[in-house]
Structure 1
Amino acid sequence: MSTPTRLAHRVSELFGCSRAEAEQYIQNGWVSVDGRVVEAPQHPVTGERVELDPGARLEAVEPATILLHKPAGFDAINGRNPAAVLVKPETHWAEDSSGVRLLQRHFQRLTPLVPLETEASGLMVLTQDGRVWRRLTEDADLVEHEYLVEVSGEIAPYGLHKLNYGLSFNGRVLPPCKVSWQNETRLRFAIKGVRDGQLRGMCAQVGLDVVSIRRLRIGKIPIGKGPSGAMPPGQWRYLPAGEKF
């Protein structure tokens, strides 16, 4: 029996590249062992068939940022029913146009960011990228979010004006935001620095009950649309390279 060797060493021997280049090919999913993609350079091989994808390119192993359409009932950050369990290869949105190749390493060490109520639905971010983490935590109050809020009841006189200017929540005077009617029962909020329960509290102050909340956008990044419409609940796409919140 042959002595096992590291996959990176075998790739380097077979395809005339350096060990560092071999590791990069492997980590980016360009190498298969007996027809199965292996992303671990240390994977032991003996007599297996090792192949390098003809389209293989040497490129940096970039951290992934995933955009999930969280369904209502899942916990965004903490809780017993974490939305992160929905992020898996089989729930990858078929109309993802990011151009990012799906790799198993993208599902490791993902950090969920930007709170969203359990009963709310909509855009949620999970990332491996420290730059995204800093933007959505350290600069959180500078990033505008867009929500559609389904409501019932009759709005108080000057209620829409009050939603835009002049309300408080949990003892904090709220800065101006942009609130408008989308139809007879649906409000659109474009707002920064929103806190848990704030949208419900704002609506209650003008006589409205909240039926549902859906987040459409964080900063410049929307849930996403394809030929068949918006990305469905429970599915996810990659944040394309170069796009920022």
Structure 2
Amino acid sequence: MTEPLRLSKRMSELGLCSRREADEWIAQGWVRVDGVVVSELGSKVLPHQKITVERQASAQQAKRVTVLINKPMGFVSGQAEDGYKPAVTLITPEARWKEDKAPIQFHPSQLRSLVPAGRLDIDSVGLLVLTQDGRIAKQLIGEDTAIEKEYLVRVKYGKPGRLPDADLRLLNHGLSLDGKKLLPAKVQWQNEDQLRFVLKEGKKRQIRRMCEAVGLKVLGLKRVRIGNVKLGDLPTGQWRYLRADERF
């Protein structure tokens, strides 16, 4: 027998929404299983059962925004901490990039439930995604995500000469953090003091710790791409909406 799953978990697996959204929709009576409305939280379904959502749920989801920020140094990605401001405070009408072509009007309600989909630490800059859409959050930070993140990293080698090729190969594959092997990465020199990292995972301070492991000190770290979405010419401290035609 196939085991029943929580309805909200199954909806998330199917890419319909996040679990939190699923619970909201179930409570509103917007979810049907095999054509029958299911409004009890914690309800379970079998994998073969057909799940559909009412138009109101799709309409609500369509209004959810995703924002791209060029995060400056000194801002935290999520909740305020140690006196540092969260990046969401940068999202004001004045700081919206003049070149933003998205036909969306800013409204303060868009700041509600706007969460970072992947973090940048306080000393790092570049592309940060904040979203109200649980599907995008799951796509970017879910356990099985395979979306690439690209960084430009300025480094200084702590020993005489240059970083040995063997250590560069280690950065590409062979290092472990917290007792767990890292996934293969793409790491190559851009110029004399700058490396380009492309990762498919994002452990806490991963790049800085990888560099430390081979004797490199990180002097600057900038994220320039997530999947197919690039930072491009977005100025530091400014933001724009993810366009309808853009996909990570």
TM-score, structure 1 normalization: 0.69
Deviation at 1:104, TM superposition (A): 3.9
Match of 2:118 among 105, 114, 117: 114
One-letter amino acid matched to 1:232: P
Contact 1:216 1:223 in 2 (8 A): yes
Rounded to whole Å, the distance in 1 between the matches of 2:66 and 2:174 is: 36
**Partner Cα distance (2:236, 2:217) in 1:** 24
Q: Aligned partners of 2:143 and 2:244: how far apart in 1?
A: 20
1:138 Cα deviation from its structure 2 partner? 2.1
Distance (whole Å) between structure 2 residues aligned to residue 206 and residue 183 of structure 1:
18
Which whole-Å CA distance do the structure 2 matches of 1:182 and 1:191 have between them?
Answer: 16
2:73 aligns to what? 72
The one of 222, 231, 235 equivalent to 1:232 is 235
Q: Determine helix, strand or coil for the equivalent of 1:66.
A: strand
Query: Which structure 2 residues correspond to residues 191-230 of structure 1 after superposition, within 5 A?
Result: 191-224=199-232, 230=233
* Secondary structure class of the residue paired with 2:195: strand
Residues of 1 paired with 2:93 and 2:228: CA distance?
Answer: 25
In 1, distance between residues paired with 2:224 and 2:144? 16
Q: Distance in 1 between matches of 2:227 and 2:179?
A: 26
Which structure has the greater CA radius of gyration?
Answer: 1
Distance 2:165 2:133 in 1: 46
- What corresponds to 2:136 in structure 1? 132
Unaligned runs of 5+ in 2: 1-58
Unaligned ranges ≥5, structure 1 = 1-58, 225-229
User: Is this contact kept in 1: 2:139–2:145, CA < 8 A?
Assistant: no
What's the counterpart of residue 152 of structure 1? Answer: 156
Q: CA deviation at 1:63?
A: 1.3
Q: Please tell me whether the aligned partners of residues 116 and 196 of structure 1 are also in contact (alpha carbons under 8 angstroms).
A: no
Return the letter of the residue paired with 2:115: T
Whole-Å separation in 2 of the counterparts to 1:149 and 1:141: 23
In the TM superposition, what is the alpha-carbon distance from 1:112 to its structure 2 partner? 2.1
Question: Normalising by structure 2, what TM-score?
Answer: 0.68
Q: How large is the RMSD of aligned CA atoms in angstroms?
A: 1.9
Deviation of 1:139 after TM superposition, in Å, equals 4.8
Worse overlay, 207-216 or 91-100: 91-100
Query: Is the alpha carbon distance of 1:210 and 1:107 closer, same or farther for their aligned partners in structure 2, counting shifts above 3 Å?
Result: same
In the alignment, the residues of structure 1 paired with residue 72 and residue 116 of structure 2 have an alpha-carbon distance, to the nearest angstrom, of: 15
Match of 1:105 in 2: 109
